[in-house]
Amino acid sequence: MGNKDHLHKYKLKNLGSDGKLYLVYFCTLPNCTNYIRADLIYGKEVICNRCDRPYIHKNWEGRYVVHPHCLDCTKKSDKVKKHDADLDDIFKVLEVK
């Protein structure tokens, strides 16, 4: 198990063999051996691989990102920015209840 005293900075890795996919994220910080199945990273607080700030990892439309990064470090079209703002508004409403 990994060190639970810190946030993790993940990188995607395929542990499958014989052409099978078994995607996991592993922590790239020194002295940490944490691995997590790729589909379980969503909603976790992790460290951005670009700006090194903590953020909550969101689903990237079913895609897995090799070096997970925050939305602030992502180049997005205006349509995607509006979609993200709408989702943030929905999450705020859900948190209030």
CA–CA distance, 36 with 74 (Å, rounded to integer): 23
Residue type, 54: P
* CA dihedral sign, ordered 46, 49, 55, 58: negative
Mean pLDDT of the chain: 84
pLDDT in the model for residue 2: 47
The dihedrals phi and psi of 36, each to the nearest 5 degrees, come to -140, 140
Q: Where are the alpha helices (DSSP H) in the chain?
A: 78-96
Taking only the tens place, the pLDDT of each residue in 7-45 is 999 999 999 999 899 999 999 999 999 999 998 998 899
Residues in the chain: 97
